[in-house]
Amino acid sequence: MIWEAWEKDYGPKPIIPVAQKKQSELNETLNLKDDIPASAGVPIEKPRIESSDPVINLLKQGKKIKVITDLLDIEIDTIGGTITRVDLLDYPISKEQSDTPITLLNDDPASLYVAQSGILTSGYPAPNHHTEYQTTTTNYQLVLGEKELTVPLSWSSEDGIDVTKVFTFYPGRYDIDIEHRVANNSGKEWKGRQYGQLQRKEREEDSDTTFIRTYTGGVIYNEEDKYEKISFEDMYEDNLSLEAKGGWSALIQHYFLSAWVPPGEDQNHFYTKSLSDYRFVIGSYSSQVEVQPGDHKVLSSIFYSGPKIQQDLEVITPGLELTVDYGFLTVIAKPIFWLLGKFHGYLNNWGWSIICVTCVIKLLFYKLSETSYRSMARMRKIQPKMTSIRERFGEDKQRMNQEIMALYKREKVNPLGGCFPILVQIPVFISLYWVLLESVELRQAPFIFWLQDLSLKDPFFILPLLMGFSMWIQQKLNPAPIDPVQEKVMKMFPFIFTVFFMFFPSGLVLYWVVNNTLSILQQWYITRKIVAEG
């Protein structure tokens, strides 16, 4: 973990030539329309110029339309109807800045992250995300009691193609319905495809925790290939081109995501694209739609930008809840999260919920743990005899091993008896680790006293010190290794893990402290029984 963090922060970066030009010259050279998706069957080209100059503005800007709901503060640019800023009103940056919400999307050139959509055609008039729309109002607010809020933008061509782009917002929801309503008032047939894409500049993510590295990058999902990560490095190496029914595309990060969800019954083309200035695009476009003269059609999609709340994501589209990424142990992690949520429903405190879940898991594995601790207790009981053998045959390693194996046989002790029960429990413990790490519900969640944010490290390092002390007690209850060098290494573990856990989220450390405490009580009780049996 230290090596990974070091390489990310201080390791060598790819050498990319920097164009030393003025703003206007750069805009001309970079080709501002290189982010429009290619039509089906047309290869997507790599960018011709790279630039790391953070001051260039790669977005043409028009009027800004401000939309406020109970959960969102959004800006929509009249150029393309691009969503250029999303503030999450229920998620402040920190406890200390409780009035400043997280900004998930923004059009700052240094940290560009926007949601673009439009229509692709071959020779037919249509607006894309570089086209200017018209609007009558630039300020909208969802009033308490209203069921929805619509924000229309209009565009018309000279030959009678009218497109109204409509954003529909709902109270208590982060998903937005987006429609392109195409009216063909020309005298000939019109054909086009709807697309939605996310464009983001790769940057170093601010993180509240040290040593904790969660995935930031692209994801696509469809019924055939299911959930697939596509990192920025993957996008740079090769452009994705995939046909699939339904599905969705997204950019995810710790706790939050943005996603485009086309209609589930449509055949869609998913793509990625590597652009200039470290920008990357992921999105999809629909099958071609025909609109006859005098007719009209609606091209719809859903855009989500908000927290990874599983029950909300499940309702929007299948598989979107998988962005809460528990990895290959999802099948175990999801029931653990469900149980955690049940306890929170009664206790209304995530810290006590973690303690209760830890106790339940400990009870479920009680018999396995008992087997392990009994084996350790028996090993501890014969420790003096093993020490005697080591002193007598220390110079003759082969004879010493033979005598130790004979001792195991006489005392009916299996030296590996304490390992298997612990190995069986490891997947559950790892799953719980990822549940606590990935759950946005624990972000800025208070526990008691000095622990006011379970997603951050313990500010006074009390929990890590308790965890290290509990590890030291466990070592005292376990039989000492025969090898003196191994014994010295094992004695260092409580100190090493204490240092590691000082920078872990306090919710994770709380779990380990409770788990270690329960293990100590169980091991002490079983060891005492074994010794009493004589």
pLDDT tens-digit map of 303-352? 999 999 999 999 999 899 999 988 788 888 889 999 999 999 999 999 99
Return the pLDDT at 3: 61
* Cα Rg of the chain (Å, integer): 29
pLDDT winner (highest mean) among 30-44, 210-224, 351-365, 483-497: 351-365
Higher-pLDDT residue of 509, 35: 509
**Bridge pairing between strands 101-105 and 113-120:** unpaired
Look at residue 395 and tell me whether its pLDDT is greater than 50: yes
Q: Say if residue 485 is in the same domain as residue 342.
A: yes
DSSP 113-137: EEEEEEEE-SSS----TTSBPB-S-
Which helix (DSSP H) or strand (DSSP E) does residue 421 occupy? helix 420-438
Q: Say if residue 312 is in the same domain as residue 266.
A: yes
Q: Say if residue 377 is in the same domain as residue 462.
A: yes
Would you place residue 225 in the very low, low, confident or very high pLDDT band (cuts 50, 70, 90)? confident
Q: Quick check: 337 and 327 in contact, CB under 8 A? A: no
- What's the domain range around 429? 333-533
Residues whose CB falls within 8 Å of the CB of residue 154, separated by 6 or more in sequence, listed in order: 133, 134, 135, 162, 163, 164, 165
Q: Say if residue 266 is in the same domain as residue 403.
A: no
Look at residue 28 and tell me whether its pLDDT is greater than 50: no
Would you place residue 454 in the very low, low, confident or very high pLDDT band (cuts 50, 70, 90)? confident
- 213's tokens: 């590295």
- Secondary structure (3-state) at 222: strand
Mean pLDDT of 230-234: 91
CA 168 to chain centre: 27
The CB-side HSE value for 111 (13 A sphere, CA atoms) comes to 9
Return the pLDDT at 259: 96
Query: Which residue type sits at 482?
Result: I
Would you place residue 211 in the very low, low, confident or very high pLDDT band (cuts 50, 70, 90)? low
- 29's tokens: 């050279």
Q: Kindly state whether residue 515 falls inside one of the protein's structural domains.
A: yes
Burial class from Cβ neighbours inside 10 Å (0-12, 13-18, 19+) for residue 132 reads middle
Query: Which residue pairs from 139-145 have beta carbons closer than 8 angstroms and sit at least 24 positions apart in sequence?
Result: 139/65, 139/66, 140/65, 140/66, 140/67, 140/68, 141/67, 141/68, 141/69, 142/67, 142/68, 142/69, 142/70, 142/169, 142/171, 144/70, 144/171
Residues whose CB falls within 8 Å of the CB of residue 332, separated by 6 or more in sequence, listed in order: 427, 428, 431
Return the pLDDT at 133: 94
Q: What is the 3-state secondary structure (H, E, C) of 134-176?
A: ECCCCEEECCCCCCCEEEEEEEECCCCEEEEEEEEECCCCCEE
Cα dihedral: 308, 68, 349, 365 (round 10)? -10
Q: What is the mean pLDDT of the chain?
A: 80
Burial class from Cβ neighbours inside 10 Å (0-12, 13-18, 19+) for residue 528 reads exposed
Q: Say if residue 437 is in the same domain as residue 478.
A: yes
> What is the distance between the alpha carbons of residues 323 and 303, in angstroms, rounded to a whole number?
15
Q: Say if residue 237 is in the same domain as residue 160.
A: yes
Burial class from Cβ neighbours inside 10 Å (0-12, 13-18, 19+) for residue 532 reads exposed
Q: How many other C-beta atoms can be found within 10 angstroms of the C-beta atom of residue 336?
A: 21
Q: Say if residue 312 is in the same domain as residue 354.
A: no
Q: Say if residue 483 is in the same domain as residue 518.
A: yes
273, 300, 325 - which closes a domain: 325
Cα dihedral: 220, 221, 222, 223 (round 10)? 160
Q: Say if residue 9 is in the same domain as residue 122.
A: yes
Q: Say if residue 251 is in the same domain as residue 268.
A: yes
Global pTM reads 0.80
Return the pLDDT at 171: 95
- Secondary structure (3-state) at 389: helix
- 297's tokens: 């059609």
274, 307, 325 - which closes a domain: 325
- Secondary structure (3-state) at 474: helix
Return the pLDDT at 42: 39
Q: Kindly state whether residue 210 falls inside one of the protein's structural domains.
A: no
- 393's tokens: 């045959």
Q: Say if residue 272 is in the same domain as residue 344.
A: no
pLDDT winner (highest mean) among 174-178, 324-328, 382-386, 526-530: 174-178
Q: Say if residue 180 is in the same domain as residue 97.
A: yes
Q: Kindly state whether residue 55 falls inside one of the protein's structural domains.
A: no
Q: Quick check: 468 and 516 in contact, CB under 8 A? A: no
Q: Kindly state whether residue 74 falls inside one of the protein's structural domains.
A: yes
Residues whose CB falls within 8 Å of the CB of residue 19, separated by 6 or more in sequence, listed in order: 26, 29, 49, 50, 51, 53
Q: Quick check: 49 and 19 in contact, CB under 8 A? A: yes
Counting the structural domains of the chain, the total is 2
The domain that holds 102 is classified in CATH as 2.70.98.90
Look at residue 397 and tell me whether its pLDDT is greater than 80: no
Q: Kindly state whether residue 51 falls inside one of the protein's structural domains.
A: no
Return the pLDDT at 57: 45
325, 360, 379 - which closes a domain: 325
Q: What is the pLDDT of residues 99-117, one digit of tens each?
A: 899 999 999 888 899 999 9
Q: What is the pLDDT of residues 158-179, one digit of tens each?
A: 888 999 999 999 999 999 999 9
Q: Quick check: 111 and 203 in contact, CB under 8 A? A: yes
Look at residue 265 and tell me whether its pLDDT is greater than 90: no
Q: Kindly state whether residue 498 falls inside one of the protein's structural domains.
A: yes
Return the pLDDT at 399: 77
Return the pLDDT at 194: 92
Higher-pLDDT residue of 438, 40: 438
Q: Kindly state whether residue 7 falls inside one of the protein's structural domains.
A: yes
Q: Kindly state whether residue 144 falls inside one of the protein's structural domains.
A: yes
> What is the distance between the alpha carbons of residues 22 and 30, in angstroms, rounded to a whole number?
12
Residue 68 is given by DSSP the state: E
Return the pLDDT at 45: 37
Mean pLDDT of 415-419: 58
